[in-house]
Structure 1
Amino acid sequence: MKKNIKLSKKKYFKLGKIPLGIGAIMDGWDFSEEEFRNSRCLNIEFRAFKNACPLNCPYCFTDKIKSDLTLDEIRDVILQLKELGTKTINFVGEGEPTIDKNFLDVMSFCYKNNIKPIVFSEGTTKLGNIDFIKKLKQYDVTIVLKCDSLFNEEYQNKIVGSKNYFKKRNKILNFLMKNNFNKSNEKGTTHLALNMIVTRSNKSEVLKTVEFCRKNNIFVMLVEYLPTGRVEKKDFDKSSILFRDDIKKIRNQINDLDSKKYGFIHDSFTSYSFVPCTIYGGVHIYGNGDVARCAGNAKVLGNIRNESLKKIWNKIKLDKNKFHGNCPYRNEAWGK
């Protein structure tokens, strides 16, 4: 352990105490072992918002289901989740969450009910507006910004189908950093994250991206394709999927960097590389009210318009005491 590295007081699920100021985990995913094991519907995904998006990513995991839940229905879902013990809602949207007319109302409602909102965003549509992001800070929102590449403009623009996304996104990233979304705290968390889908085309950038994030207290999600949405279609180009040897090499590089330079000792997980999946302890709610276990397991368990979330949750046979932190759906799909 490096002598000058301060650690969090809290021990996190599968991580223990973490170094402060390196973006080891994002705010909203900072659960202790006890919180994860003993909770019910702790950390969930909610596609509450409209299915419009300015980008056209070939790996988008949504099916662009029409989101027709009303604001009152969304609020009711949040109140039901609160009763079930939910602490965090990941707003992934059927499209870009921030452009929905009800977005700020929903963020405010979560905040008032002590539920942490995490927003997955392409960033360039709304996050450059200072008044808008002041509202997000007021509601204690964590932002997960899309990032296929921090360094390769051609690849980033090609993958999202936009000629100028790279420069706009990087400008937004700097703007969010300037406004302290990545400010360090005593918990060891950060309110700013990057979401990087790792492929054969950008695998050489992973270590450089992790180093950038460590230096700037930004959490980085390093994920492989999730076998759902466009990825499970027959015409999806699977040639970009990483080989198992690639994955092993990347994980070893990250572990080596983190342990030697930052004193961050952790396992490797198939979900988000160096942190375990805690969404496994929740559900996935679609914009039409359907409820499934996860985006990677789309079997519908019920619909919030016909059944209470408590009744739907009770259908799930889940022993979290045996959960290892890895994504069971990526494992099954890609043979990991």
Structure 2
Amino acid sequence: MGKSITVADRKNLPHIVAARQRIENLWARGTDYCESTVAEAQAHARMLHLDMDFTGECQLKCFYCDRTPDRYSDVPNRTELTTEQRKDIIRQARELGATTIEFPGAGEPMIDPGFWEVLEYIHDNDMIPVVFTSGWHLNELTIDRLYRLGATIFIKHNSDDPRVQDKMVGVKGYGRVATRALHLLVERGFASTIPTRMAIDMVVTPHFQDMEEIGTIFRWCRDNNVHNYIMTLIPEGMADHRQVLFEKRRADELIEFMARIDREEYGLEYVPSRPMGGGYRCRQVNVGLFVNLFGEVYDCNGLGRLLGHLRRDSLADIWQSTYARRVRQPDQNGFCLLRERQWQGVDLGPMDRKTEQYLHWRNRHEADPVMENALDEISQVEIHRRGARSRAVDVEILPAGARPADTLPAQAPAKP
């Protein structure tokens, strides 16, 4: 995979030298928030990061898919955000201070009809688009366009063996296409900056946990200035309760294995933080929000604690609400509540986990009006994996500064 670097030279690579001063220099551009940056943003109640779902459509059939039922496009009687609504939400996020707009899914972002228009809008507003992609739609033309738009790319790469890649995603021929796309990204220059503009997105499962290969891929990332987003499963969606969870002990072994390579071969010293390897520490909850396909707002796309609904409140109202401020107050610094809850045996379905903490909090405090609006909105739809049925009409996304009474139409009678 790409150029080979001798062990003697590894410690003197420019990005490795930079990482000794600031470990975040090894993270991907647009996600490289250091502790001081986060602290300053928190002190001024400023948002830095917005996650947003594009389409729920995807050509792959990954057995480890972590999507919950509300992140599929085939949920009937629910209205997905339009391209114009997404752009307005991004505008609201920018007004709150956001500098990065990340697209983790829900399906394959690049097949959304509004994908390029939204990325152009982000670029025109001097923000960084971060795109998670399978690589299926990456070629010389799309890669060049993404480069010119200032995008950071996270490309799925679970193995150097195309046959293993095919098995993990359930599509024959995928591995060959994705591997070529990975090399095209390097050739175009996505890994030529510090911090880098590319990362591999690798999920380690009990089905495929070859530590030798993980070490090979990890070293390739370090040698070539590619951020390694190597982690265990998020126990949601199809990954939930199917014994594909890389248990807590194995997760510890993985991050210690990667830390040892960094220490002995690259001269990098850090305290690893479960579940992410390579010194990476997620700080999303402290400085960001996640908006799903339908305008529901959560603290992150993994755990998804419900914080509000954009059909009832503006992004600013949600960001500044009492409960949202409470959720982002503790220092996250790499802690992943979802995985820790699962490892501790807290066994709730994915939809229940989204509201459980607020309901406990409400028992001890006054109800948060923004959260009550959101609970009322999601109660209009009964969601399950095979679809949903709506008990009320959908309404338009609430513009910044508007109040619900100004924009909400009267409810139509429920359909039988």
Same fold judged by TM-score > 0.5?
yes
Question: Is residue 323 from structure 1 mapped to residue 310 from structure 2 by the alignment?
Answer: no
* Residue 17 of structure 1, CA deviation: 1.6
What's the offset of the Cα at 1:120? 0.4
Which residue is equivalent to 2:312?
306
| Structure 1 partner of 2:283 | 278
**2:135 paired residue number:** 123
What's the offset of the Cα at 1:112?
1.5
One-letter code of the match for 1:97? Answer: P
From 18, 34, 37, the counterpart of 1:35: 37
- Percent identity between matched residues is 27
The 1:17–1:300 alpha-carbon spacing in structure 2 relative to 1, beyond 3 Å, is: closer
Whether contact under 8 Å (1:119, 1:142) holds in the other structure is: yes
Partner of residue 190 from structure 2, selected from 173, 181, 186: 181
For residues 278-312 of structure 1, the C-alpha deviation after alignment (integer angstroms, 9 at most, x for no partner) is 21221111011111112233343222122101111
Kept in 2: contact 1:5–1:19 (CA 8 A): no
Give 2:62's aligned residue: 57
**Aligned partners of 1:19 and 1:263 also within 8 Å:** no
Counterpart position of 2:356: none
Q: Distance in 2 between matches of 1:112 and 1:159?
A: 37
Higher relative contact order (CA 8 A, sep 6+): 1
Q: Secondary structure at the match of 2:306?
A: coil
User: Structure 2 residue aligned with 1:157, among 145, 163, 166?
Assistant: 166
Amino acid aligned to 1:163: K
> For 1:69-108, what aligned pairs fall within 5 Å after superposition?
69-108=81-120
Matches within 5 A, 1:162-241: 162-183=171-192, 185=193, 188-204=194-210, 205-232=213-240, 236-238=241-243, 240-241=244-245
Partner Cα distance (1:60, 1:330) in 2: 15
Indicate how the Cα distance of structure 1 residues 319 and 76 shifts in structure 2: closer, same or farther if over 3 A, else same. Answer: closer
Kindly tell me: are residues 287 and 19 of structure 1, through their superposed partners in 2, closer, same or farther at Cα, counting changes over 3 Å? closer
- Residue 44 of structure 1 is matched in structure 2 by 50
Residue 157 of structure 2 aligns with which residue?
147
Question: 1:252, CA displacement in angstroms?
Answer: 2.0
Query: TM (normalized to structure 1)?
Result: 0.87
User: What amino acid is aligned across from residue 331 of structure 1 in structure 2?
Assistant: E
- Whose helix proportion is higher, 1 or 2? 2
Q: Which amino acid is 1:83 matched to?
A: E
Cα 1:10/1:115, change in 2 over 3 Å: farther
Is the CA contact (8 Å cut-off) linking 2:87 and 2:118 kept in structure 1? yes
Residue correspondence of structure 1 range 242-257 to structure 2 within 5 A: 242-257=246-261
Shift of 1:199: 1.3
Give 1:320 deviation, angstroms: 4.6
Unaligned runs of 5+ in 2: 1-9, 74-78, 346-416
Q: Distance in 1 between matches of 2:219 and 2:16?
A: 20
The structure number with the bigger radius of gyration is 2
Q: Distance in 1 between matches of 2:249 and 2:232?
A: 14
CA contact (8 A) 1:75 1:109 kept: yes
Q: Which residue of 1 aligns with 2:403?
A: none
Q: Does the Cα contact within 8 Å between 1:65 and 1:288 map onto a contact in 2?
A: no
The runs of 4+ residues in structure 1 deviating greater than 4 Å are 5-11
Whether the 8 Å CA contact 2:221–2:227 is kept in 1: the answer is yes
Change beyond 3 A, Cα 1:82–1:54: same
Kindly indicate whether the alpha-carbon contact (under 8 Å) linking 2:191 and 2:226 is maintained by their aligned counterparts in 1. Answer: yes
Q: Partner of 2:316: helix, strand, or coil?
A: helix
Indicate yes or no: 2:140 matched with 1:134: no
Inter-partner Cα distance in structure 1 for 2:310 and 2:114? 19
Conserved? CA contact 1:270–1:330, under 8 Å: no
1:249 maps to amino acid: E
| TM, length-normalised to structure 2 | 0.71
Instruction: Give the match's secondary structure for 1:283.
Output: strand
Q: CA deviation at 1:101?
A: 1.5
In the alignment, is the contact (CA less than 8 A) between 1:296 and 1:330 conserved in 2? no
Alpha carbon RMSD of aligned pairs, Å?
Answer: 2.5
Q: 8 Å contact 2:92–2:316 — kept in the other structure?
A: yes
